[in-house]
Amino acid sequence: MADAPEEAGELAALEEYLERLQAGGSPQREQVLAAHPGLRSALRCLEVLEGIASDGLDEPFGGEGCGATVAGLPREFGNYELLQELGRGGMGVVYKARQKDLDRIVAVKMILDSNLASEEHVRRFHEEARAAARVEHPGVIRIHEVGRFDEQHYFAMEYIEGASLSAHAAQVEISFTEAARLVQRVARAVDHLHRQGIVHRDLKPSNILIDRDREPHVTDFGLAKVFRTGSQSTATGVIVGTPSYMAPEQATGDSGQVGPASDVYSLGAILYELLTGRPPFREETPLDTVMKVLSAEPPLPRTVNRRVPRELELVCLKCLARAPGDRYRSAAALAEELDRFLKGAPLDVRPPSVFDRLKRWGRREPALAARLGVLGVFFCVEWSNYFAAAGAPEFAAFHWKVMALMGVWTLTAVVFQQSIRRNSDRWSLPARFLWGSLDAVLLFALLLIADGVASPLVVCYPLLIVASGLWLRVRFVWFMALVSLVSYGIHVAHFYIGRKAQLPQFDTAFDRHVIFVVMLLGIAWGVGHLVHRIRVMSSYCDRNESA
């Protein structure tokens, strides 16, 4: 009972503090804490909630996301006066502030919701400050101070009057020459980081600030890896970075393979976006993007923007090589290459060989490459059979029908792939269903020409279902399963009713058709289940990235 008056006093003080906060006043926070020290965490929660409400209704500073670390700006924060929110990410929020003792404008970064931050977030926050503080380069944001005030971890850094490269590119048309110059400057700064034993690991347009003189400055070392003896900045298996700009070795989660070449890849991705207006890979979800990074090749820059100089396309492709050893040996080498381009001198990079082009094309358009590969093998087998039969008249008609069907199949595959590539935003989803339906129709026609369900080509039905899983859509998997089952069912009926003359030549036991149908359903369930699990993981990654 002795605690009742104290609790009543705390509740009254808390209620009064909330009323003043909602009224837009300046509650005497330190006085309240001096009288009721147990209210510290409660006051912090109220300020965060009030910040969320004010941001959501008024959006006074244009920050993305919801939630604010402090309520009401301008506001005193130790030796700083917070003036304006500049931006926020998954871990921190950055404010424009005035350092009172030196009367200068700085940028102050602090952890979002510091009371709720995990030890890992705090460690990464201080790792970022330590990484940036050891660097002295005009192209890298300088750190002035690292500290903690009122249980809030923060560091003060150089303030750049300007905008991020992503915002700059959205507001101003950047020429190809200017794009090469900007990336060359960034590459020089990144090379300095590498010489200090630091790999940034999250280079992207939003982490590069452009000042009034249009000079770039690298910032945001939240994912930087400092190479030193015994360093364990990231556990193996943890994927760090931004999917559209991360190198394949980052996407695998193998931190031991991440090094300076990973930043060279990211610089190539930035150059790619400046040249084409889009990053090399940008899918519907982060997980889809990561899977593209791991298995595909980006579209050639000149197919996205025909005006891109051939030399810069080659530079991009060398940076974006899947194997780290195939990229520029260092960020300095990339800067020197871009310097040669700017001076009009010959470049060191050479066009890829025919074999490399074919391999990259196969990864860039796997759906078309797989179909053409299968059709090519079937084409060779069919011609071999035709010549083995010495052009027998009874086989010639069948042969030319099959060849005509193969030609139609090849032509439609090319047309669909080109249509998807040119109209990917609005055509991709319906094209998948149309393309899959057409494959099933052409397979149906091929079996109709051949021996129907007695033909070994019926194994193509399971292949259609398995291939549909590559599109990562559960509904599409079951759609192809349904189309395959209906098509196979029609062939079964036709086999017993319309091919009676052929029945003595083949196994007519009906149970084999039941087994085949059960197998198709089992394959569809297995592929659909795997795709569903991938989609669940993708949604989880998407929520975490947005959090």
272 and 320 in contact (C-beta within 8 Å)?
yes
Helix pair 260-276, 176-195: axis angle to 10 deg? 170
Q: Six-digit token pair at 468?
A: 């549909």
User: Minimal CA–CA distance to 447: which of 465, 438, 462, 459?
Assistant: 459
Whether 202 is a known active-site residue: answer yes
**Active-site residue (options: 55, 191, 202, 288):** 202
User: Minimal CA–CA distance to 85: which of 67, 73, 101, 76?
Assistant: 73
Residue whose pair of structure tokens reads 């196994």 in the numeric block: 507
User: Minimal CA–CA distance to 298: which of 329, 328, 319?
Assistant: 319
CA 347 – CA 371 distance, rounded (Å): 37
84 and 73 in contact (C-beta within 8 Å)?
yes
- Residues 482-515 as b or e (16 or more Cβ within 10 Å = b): ebbbebbeebbeebeeebeeeeeeeeeeeeebee
152 and 110 in contact (C-beta within 8 Å)?
yes
What angle is formed at CA 69 by the lines to CA 120 and CA 105, rounded to 5 degrees?
105
495 and 453 in contact (C-beta within 8 Å)?
yes
CA 282 – CA 289 distance, rounded (Å): 6
User: What is the amino acid identity at position 234?
Assistant: T
272 and 327 in contact (C-beta within 8 Å)?
no
**Which residues are CB-contacts of 509 (< 8 A; sequence separation ≥ 6)?**
none
Q: Long-range contacts made by residues 534-538, C-beta under 8 angstroms, separation at least 24? A: 534/287, 534/472, 535/472, 535/474, 537/287, 538/285, 538/286, 538/287, 538/288
Active site residues: 202
